[in-house]
Amino acid sequence: MTLRIGTRGSALAMAQSGIVASALAKASGDEVELVAISTEGDHSKASLSSLGGTGVFASALREALLADECDLVVHSLKDLPTAAYPGLRIGAVPKRVDARDALVSRDGVALDALPEGAKVGTGSPRRVAQLRAFRPDLDIHDIRGNVDTRLARVTADLDAVVLAVAGLTRLGRLDAVSEFLSLGRWPSAPGQGALAIEVRDDSSNALTAALATLDHQSSHLAVLAEREVLAQLEAGCAAPIGATAVLDDELLFLSATIYAIDGSSSLTSSHALVVEGSRQERLQLPAELGKRVADELLRLGAAELAPLGVTS
């Protein structure tokens, strides 16, 4: 039997899916092949916010999965809308890699040492808000394209770009990093650094069992908590929200920050709970934690600070 993994065709997506393919082949004993699927987000040059958020990358993959063009699909979890998709479920969340953002600049200059008015590129409203909060003088440019395209802009027309450490890691490009941005000061997108393996509800018991061996529970619990904040706030996955969840000695800690688009202000909420019970019971707890954080953000005025109520 051959298992078909649907994936975007970018170098990063293929690298991520290749990691899953190797692990799945070992767990299942089956042959595994990658099926490249084109998405609207890969072709359009428009900004992600104008396209409706990063969910544009997931739609074509999900349609191909439901059409039985593949047996499972691999998403960057931060690109996956929080709303349930009829007929599909997340079969596994492999171990998360570094969730931080990184600055890549000319001559390895750190963010606080960039010249006044430096041109910095990012396609993320969250990163825009964070950059403006830290350095209001920066000239922020909206950029699109794959990792290599963005890196090339640093030597072409920009002074720096901000990228996810996870993507640079999976492509073997950590050498380009000028500065790693700490999660304490620069919380990244909910789910950043993690992958989601999505399958049909009627997937075989054999595939379900194989995927269970790939699932990393602490990573799974953390990203569920982070994504619940987005769901409760009815915010799209491109919203100016950073969230970080960590499971430490059975205590799940979650902190989330929402930013004004112009970086002028922000709100933060942090809560924790003990994770206990059966695996199924444990997987229900992050939703409770995420709701606590989101409810507090709303009480503090999140709806007046940033555009909410439009999910991607």
Residue 180, C-beta contacts closer than 8 angstroms, at least 6 positions apart:
100, 102, 165
Which of the following is catalytic: 30, 68, 79, 215?
79
CB atoms within 10 A of CB 163: 22
Per DSSP (E only), the strands in 217-250 are 241-248
d(CA 192, CA 78) in angstroms, rounded, equals: 5
Contact (Cβ atoms closer than 8 angstroms) between residue 259 and residue 306: yes
d(CA 30, CA 198) in angstroms, rounded, equals: 18
Positive or negative, the Cα torsion across 282, 286, 288, 292? positive
List, in sequence order, every residue forming a beta bridge with 82; answer none if it has no partner.
none
Q: How far is CA 150 from the centre of its chain?
A: 18
Compute φ and ψ for 197, nearest 5 degrees.
Answer: -100, 115
Contact (Cβ atoms closer than 8 angstroms) between residue 55 and residue 79: yes
Contact (Cβ atoms closer than 8 angstroms) between residue 74 and residue 197: yes
Compute φ and ψ for 114, nearest 5 degrees.
Answer: -65, 145
Angle, helices 279-300 vs 217-233, to 10°: value is 40
Please say if 139 is a catalytic residue.
no
| 195-200 and 72-76 strand pairing | antiparallel
Return the structure tokens found at 246: 């960590």
CB atoms within 10 A of CB 9: 15
Residues noted as catalytic: 79
